[in-house]
Chain A
Amino acid sequence: EDQVTQSPEALRLQEGESSSLNCSYTVSGLRGLFWYRQDPGKGPEFLFTLYSAGEEKEKERLKATLTKKESFLHITAPKPEDSATYLCAVQGSSNTGKLIFGQGTTLQVKP
């Protein structure tokens, strides 16, 4: 069964304190791994898609990496505006159009 587990569930950082969020996955034939950012009461906003192990993508203070079993979202020198819930999702070759989501990591960055 395809599955995604994110850790930690919640993370509190001081402004400027770098850290990483983890996304462990089990999927039959990975088609893509997706990272989204979700602010309270809003829909998720697309961040990155990773397709194969070894791939990395960056956007401002965020960097996503992918291995055969997990993905990391590295946050470098975070700012309070980075506070949000970060969602990880995978799509397998057998799941046409369907994304399997993790439960998310809620990040709070204090000034």
Chain B
Amino acid sequence: DGGITQSPKYLFRKEGQNVTLSCEQNLNHDAMYWYRQDPGQGLRLIYYSQIVNDFQKGDIAEGYSVSREKKESFPLTVTSAQKNPTAFYLCASTLGRQGWDGYTFGSGTRLTVV
């Protein structure tokens, strides 16, 4: 079955440590997105990529980095510069680059700072 796979499901980060969240899709979708979800808040866009080797900052990109070396992969690195990284992270993709066909989401990664 086609879909989006996020790993790991749970991730613990120590202070000052960089961690990378994996997102892989086998839907042949062009565009991929990373959102952050906090309790009581709407999903907020971190980064998105419409084509390979190109990506744009979203609303809350500070402290995060991404790469898009392959169409099916869009990993997110949470750096030590992100002061409050504890959250639920969601990866999504859309068939078209404009994203007008709606998102398919992965199952999420819960990141906790210890």
* A residues apposed to B, CB below 8 Å: 4, 9, 31-32, 34, 36, 41-46, 49, 87, 89, 91, 96-104
Contact = CB atoms under 8 A, between A and B. Distances in A.
Interface residues of B, number: 30
B31 A97 contact: yes
Contact of B102 (A41, A46, A101): A46
Contact of B42 (A4, A41, A45): A4
Nearest to A34: B102
A34 B110 CA distance: 24
Given A32-B100, A34-B102, A41-B110, A97 B33 contact: yes
Contacts of B40: 9, 103
Q: Considering the complex of A and B, which 6 residue pairs feature the smallest CB-CB distances, nearest first?
A: A97-B99, A43-B105, A101-B42, A101-B43, A103-B42, A43-B107
8 contacts: A32-B100, A34-B103, A41-B110, A43-B108, A96-B97, A98-B58, A101-B35, A103-B40
A97 B97 CA distance: 7
B99 A98 contact: yes
A103 B41 contact: yes
B45 interface: yes
Nearest to B88: A41
Contacts of B98: 96-97
A73 to B, nearest CB: 16
A43 B42 contact: no
Nearest to B43: A101
Nearest to B49: A97
B104 interface: yes
Nearest to B103: A99
Contacts of A34: 102-103
Contact of A98 (B42, B48, B104): B48
A109 to B, nearest CB: 21
B1 to A, nearest CB: 14
